[in-house]
Every structure is written in structure tokens, then in C-alpha cells.
Amino acid sequence: MNTCFVQFGEWGGPYRTVRADDIKETECSPSPYAQGYGPKIPMPYMVKVGGEFGDRWRRVYCAQYGNACSTYIKVNGVDTIVDIQIGVLI
């Protein structure tokens, strides 16, 4: 079972963590950056976040500048942290 948690708030916190309504794997375009590092690399996931943030699917992106990346979605123009757990039962 795939789960996703979204942390709303400014960078550095405090955050309000909510569980996403749904998550799905989709095809996406390849990384637009030749070296594979960059601020907005599309990931093969989409997250559905409802409630006050609009009930719609949002593409997950990652910011990668080294060996690890930070995944996020855009909500009302703000980068919002996303924690995706694949194959984890909760």
C-alpha cells in the first residue's frame, strides 16, 4: 500500500502534516537537466490533496543537488513538502 503525507507550512516549520487522499504512479517527462540535478525534476507520482487546498491531482517534483532529494508539490504557489512511502503499511 502506498501512502503519502503532506506537510503544509513555511520552510523550517512549524508544519501541519496531513495524509493525502490518494497517490498514483504516472508517466512523466524526463529530467530537463543534463546532469540530473536541479530544482524542479518531475517525479512519476501524483498526489491528490483535498479540503481547503482544492480537490485535485498535483505532480510531485524533487529538488536534487547531491545524493538525496527533497520531494514537494506546489499548492497555491508555495512549495509544499511531500513524504511518499511506497509499499509501507500504516
Tell me the per-residue pLDDT of 16-42, one tens digit each, with 9 for 90 and over. Answer: 888 888 888 899 888 888 788 999 999
pLDDT for 88 beyond 80: no
pLDDT at 23: 87
Task: Tell me if 90 is assigned to some domain.
Answer: no
Domains held by the chain: number: 1
Q: How many CA atoms lie within 13 A of 86 on its CB side?
A: 5
The confidence band for 15, taking pLDDT boundaries of 50, 70 and 90, is: confident
Burial profile 31-64: b = 16 or more Cβ within 10 angstroms, e = fewer: beeeeeebeebbbebbbebeeeeeeeebbbbbeb
Task: Tell me if 32 is assigned to some domain.
Answer: yes
Please state, in angstroms and rounded to a whole number, the distance separating the CA atoms of residues 15 and 9.
5
Tell me the per-residue pLDDT of 29-79, one tens digit each, with 9 for 90 and over. Answer: 888 887 889 999 999 999 988 777 778 899 999 999 988 888 998 888 888
Range of the domain at 39: 3-85
pLDDT at 1: 62
Task: Tell me if 16 is assigned to some domain.
Answer: yes
Task: Tell me if 33 is assigned to some domain.
Answer: yes
Task: Tell me if 44 is assigned to some domain.
Answer: yes
Is residue 53 helix, strand or coil?
helix
